[in-house]
């Protein structure tokens, strides 16, 4: 039990600025290798990215800066590699875990490439995990395994770090 005022609801902050060199291309190649196409365009429901398992497409918002776009692409790739797009995966029933896993993978991959996404990722994961430490712990093995696989498949030249700035999300 705790006492005191409720903690404020901290929202993810959209990333602004450039992305590490070649990171988009390296992630897009992995999405395509998994049998999905990648595009920048409009996403419904205020999402920054959408993976559609039926049409085998990944769409990343066209109106965000490259730093946010590449982080979002890493997130969508993680959904694919974590098995969240599989026919037998109950995405709606496991959405909190799926979102926490995908965003955690994106955080590790982008950090490896020199992009700090913590202003977006920390509140995002906290909201989707519902503060359930056991759920976060359970997801840790999947997250580390998938993040390692993504990083191992990237060209080492993608690590040229960008210097992103942060802005508060409009939503």
- Spatial CA neighbour of 129 closest among 109, 111, 104, 146: 104
Give 65-109 pLDDT, tens digit per residue: 999 999 999 999 999 999 999 999 998 888 888 999 999 999 999
- Is 2 contained in some domain? no
Q: What is the pLDDT of residues 72-83, one digit of tens each?
A: 999 999 999 999
pTM: 0.82
Q: Which domain holds residue 92?
A: 15-166
Q: In total, how many domains does the chain have?
A: 1
**3 assigned to some structural domain:** no
Domain assignment of residue 154, yes or no:
yes
């Amino acid at each position: 039990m705790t006492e005191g005022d409720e903690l404020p609801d901290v929202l993810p902050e959209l990333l602004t600025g450039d992305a590490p060199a070649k990171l988009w291309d390296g992630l897009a190649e992995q999405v395509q290798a998994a049998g999905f196409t990648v595009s920048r365009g409009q996403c419904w429901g205020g999402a920054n990215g959408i993976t559609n398992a039926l049409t085998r497409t990944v769409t990343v918002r066209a109106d965000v800066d490259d730093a946010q776009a590449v982080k979002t692409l890493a997130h969508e790739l993680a959904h694919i590699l974590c098995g969240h797009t599989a026919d037998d995966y109950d995405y709606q029933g496991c959405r909190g875990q799926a979102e926490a896993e995908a965003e955690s993978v994106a955080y590790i991959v982008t950090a490896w490439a020199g992009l700090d996404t913590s202003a977006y990722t920390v509140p995002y994961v906290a909201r989707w995990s519902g503060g359930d430490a056991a759920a976060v712990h359970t997801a840790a093995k999947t997250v580390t395994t998938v993040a390692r696989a993504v990083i191992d498949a990237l060209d080492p030249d993608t690590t040229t770090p960008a210097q992103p700035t942060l802005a508060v999300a409009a939503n």
